[in-house]
Amino acid sequence: MSEIVKTYPPQRKWKTVITNRRKLLTLNVRELWEYRDLLLIWMRRDILSIYKQTILGPVWFVLQPLLTMGIYVVFFSRVAKFSTVGLPAPLFYLTGIILWNYFSECITKTATFFKDGSPIFSKVYFPRLIVPLSLVLTNLVKFSIQFALFLLIYAWFLFTGSHFHPTMHLLLLPVLVLIIAALGFGSGLIVSSLTTRYKDLVHLITFGVQLMMFTAPVFLPLSTVHAPVFRKVFLANPMTGVIEAFRFGFTGAGTFSWDLLAYDGGCALFLLLAGIFVYNSVERDFVDTI
């Protein structure tokens, strides 16, 4: 009498398991590292698409802050007679422009990544954070080009007898850039996550960022803001300490405060953690609500 023996296939060990069960403050750094090639592809695509089919192309990276600086010099320095704390007006305004441009573009570009990427997100899996990370890093490349422009203008005024001097605080530059990136990335994650349900926020974010610029020392140095109400508003802006520290580090002019810089870093950390929390809570079912 023959015996029937049932055999079962060996249990497979999957390399990657995709699940929506994730702790709200979890950030899978290892998975992001495994998809670093995709991150570079997204960055390359973003850089090429910014000024694709334009006459001047990448020249806009430099021309845009120069035009903005020229307008500020004419209206705020020559017409309105705003103080530049003894610095050449072009140099003063450029220190604020390049930092604020990086901050604002990190927010505005990251704030719509869920909506903009929904056709791809619904078809193939990859870590969704690759997209906002690529935007932040792409803007960092743009910031680097504009920072090189700043160094050229800075060197020109420095070696033509202008009365300013660099300080040891310029060594804080990597920390300042990291704070700006964290502020933009965290804020953008929050706004983008909320726009999956409340699409009106998309129309408000650009206006809100422009309004915030008037409460940062881009046009006015903090030392000239004396009214208690306006000074509190300036101090509450998490970009105030960063811009003042950057300006003080390269020129020795302006206001530097460790307490204010610590406040900005605390805001950046809070917004980053809050952004990860809101993002993880929305990522589970955003394709159904976008």
Q: In the predicted model, what is the mean pLDDT of the chain?
A: 81
Q: Confidence band (pLDDT; 50, 70, 90) for 282? A: confident
Which residue in the block uniquely carries the two structure tokens 């743009």?
142
What mean pLDDT is predicted for residues 48-68? Answer: 73
Whole-structure pTM value: 0.84
- Helical H segments across the chain, by residue range: 29-34, 36-50, 60-72, 89-110, 113-116, 118-121, 130-158, 173-194, 201-213, 228-236, 240-251, 258-283, 286-289
Per residue in 253-274, is it b (16+ CB within 10 Å) or e — as a string? Answer: bbbbbeebbebbbebbeebbeb
Alpha-carbon distance 174 to 180, whole Å?
Answer: 10
Domain map (residue ranges) of the chain: 29-284
Whole-number pLDDT of residue 42: 81
Whole-number pLDDT of residue 110: 83
Cα-only R_g, the chain: 23
- Which letter does DSSP use for residue 123 in this model? T
CB atoms within 10 A of CB 128: 18
Which position has the higher pLDDT, 13 or 168? Answer: 168
The share of the chain scoring above pLDDT 70, in percent, equals 82
Whole-number pLDDT of residue 1: 45
Lowest mean pLDDT segment, chosen from 85-99, 153-167, 240-254:
153-167
The structure tokens listed for 72 are 């500020």
**Highest mean predicted confidence (pLDDT) among 40-44, 253-257, 267-271:** 267-271
Q: Is the pLDDT of residue 82 over 80?
A: yes
Whole-number pLDDT of residue 127: 75
Using one digit for the tens of pLDDT, what is the confidence trace for 208-233? Answer: 888 888 899 998 888 888 888 989 99
| Contact indicator for 16, 280 with CB cutoff of 8 Å | no
One-letter amino acid at 25 equals L
Whole-number pLDDT of residue 289: 52
The share of the chain scoring above pLDDT 90, in percent, equals 25
| Contact indicator for 77, 70 with CB cutoff of 8 Å | no
